[in-house]
Amino acid sequence: MVVMLSLFLILVGATVYRIMTALETHPGMVVEDAYESGERYGEVLATKRKLDEQGWVLDFLIPELALYQVPQTYLVKIAQHGQTLTDAEVTAYFERSVGAKNEFSVPMKFDGSVYTAQVSLPLKGRWNVVVQVSKGSFSHGALKELCALVDSSDKGCNRYKSKYIGR
């Protein structure tokens, strides 16, 4: 009887642990229009190929260690055949997969060679940073993923990584 009760408690404990882990690691994203979303992504890839063929290079640099509640610099350089694009509207959008509540955007300023923005992330965890460059009918963009941490010792977004989960 004790063995059966112990086995039952172990199974319940393991189930609770797996549920907690799943809730913390799954972003909860559901795409209701998967087909249309796939077509839009195909259009984005075709546009990117066309811009690459025309010689456009977009360098988007984010901090190596993203810290939350600490102002950090984000840089964008957009050039065609070595000539930097000036007077463009460049905006960085900071998005979270868990909801739009804390999403925000920041206009980037041109300093003569690159576009820069000082940003302080309000929350720890995963962020998607999308930079959008536009000037007239020209438009280009890039996406970076980052994890805002407390400090360099914070395991943050990597705490559930294992040899079975690759990124």
CATH of the domain at 150: 2.60.40.10
Whether residue 49 lies inside any domain: the answer is no
What residues contact 130, with CB distance under 8 A and at least 6 apart? 92, 93, 95, 141, 142, 143
Whether residue 14 lies inside any domain: the answer is no
User: Per-residue pLDDT averaged across 130-152, rounded?
Assistant: 89
Question: Phi and psi at residue 123, in whole multiples of 5°?
Answer: -135, 150
Whether residue 52 lies inside any domain: the answer is no
User: Per-residue pLDDT averaged across 152-156, rounded?
Assistant: 73
DSSP letter at 54? T
pLDDT, tens only, 28-54: 666 677 788 888 888 888 988 998 899
Domain residues for 146?
57-158
Of 38-47, 81-90, 109-118, the poorest mean pLDDT is in 38-47
pTM of the shown model: 0.69
